[in-house]
Amino acid sequence: MASLEKRLIPTWFPLAGFSALVVACAAAFALYVSDARRPIMASTGDLRIWVLDVGQGDAVFIETPHGRQILVDGGPGNAVLTKLGELMPPTDRTLDAIVPTHPDSDHVAGLVSVLARYDVAAVYETGLIKDTRVATALSEGIRDEGAQRRLVKAGDAFKVDGVTFDVLWPDGVLDGKTVSDTNRVGIVLLVRYGDTSVLLTADTEVEEEVAYAAQVGDVDVLKAGHHGSRTSSSRALLSAVSPEVAVISCGAKNSYGHPHEEVLARFADLGIGTFRTDLQGDILIRSSGGEPIVEPAPLPF
């Protein structure tokens, strides 16, 4: 089994056929330089999911095959605006939807700025209340935007351009409620397109993972929960969903020690390829409906 460090080196990672990696590496690098940084001007025919390097937080930008744009979380600050500026044409100031998974500042502070700069058509949220400055600003921004507000819970689903978004968590209606630990009630999404499946687990922890894992089946890509915290990406979840690749969103040299060495060891023991935003910058997942390709494709910060 290759060491974890060696699995972090590839710049192109098709999920089938590791032997193709050596042959295609140079061509893939040229492709990512010429294509991955190009602003989205029209439909590409592919599903593209960017796990953005926004520091110690989460922001995932999704472009559907016909150019619909969805932002899941917005990170801890304004870095997401720079990223969107690189991915979207200068004249495009609209987003089809945003999804604040839970109202912690490392996930939604950037969404406050996004709502101020972009026209947002819909907001998929739980309605959970948190008494903080950032959470209050987000609620006010959503209200002032006039976006269609859609409350979600486990069992819900929405479909855009042939891409299905299954809501696996939270398990119940939270509108207007408060909880002691917001990490445990974040929105978990299973994104499916053809034979491609990507699991976005927010900051949910072991107990929640066990609850929703049985609904998932095998996935191609797992976005590791809670920035690689030891309380997430449990062996129970990994065994249930058998990801080929895990993507960890965390800040360089963060004070939390994310990703935790125990999590990295779990991935290594199970042969799960690992990508990290703190080491490789923005990570792009591309799919035409078959086996997805996962590659670092760093954008200017």
Tens-digit pLDDT profile for residues 203-255: 999 999 999 998 899 999 999 999 989 999 999 999 999 999 999 999 999 99
Is the overall model pTM greater than 0.75, yes or no?
Answer: yes
Task: Give the pLDDT score at 236.
Answer: 95
Give the amino acid at 30: A
CA distance 173 to 162: 27
Start-to-end CA span in the chain (Å): 34
Instruction: Kindly give the parts of the chain with pLDDT less than 70.
Output: 1-43, 300-301
| CATH 3.40.50.1970, applies to 4-32+44-296 | no
Cα dihedral 248, 295, 88, 195 in deg (nearest 10): -90
* Cα–Cα distance measured from residue 125 to residue 189, given in angstroms and rounded to the nearest whole number: 12
Q: Please report the pLDDT score of residue 14 as a whole number.
A: 54
- The answer for residues whose C-beta is within 8 angstroms of residue 135's C-beta and 6 or more apart is 103, 105, 108, 129
Cα-based distances in Å from 136 to 57, 115, 132, 256: 19, 13, 6, 25
* DSSP annotation of 185: G
Whole-angstrom Cα distance, residue 217 to residue 242?
8
Question: Is the Cβ–Cβ distance between 12 and 284 less than 8 Å?
Answer: no
Q: Pairing between strand 94-99 and 119-125?
A: parallel
What pLDDT is attached to residue 32? 38
Tell me how far apart the alpha carbons of residues 138 and 95 are, in angstroms, rounded to a whole number: 16
Residue 1 vs residues 219, 270, 288: alpha-carbon distances, Å? 21, 10, 30
Of 122, 110, 105, the C-alpha closest to 60 is 110
Q: Are 109 and 102 in contact (CB under 8 A)?
A: no
The confidence score (pLDDT) of residue 11 equals 39
Residue 87: its H or E element? helix 79-87
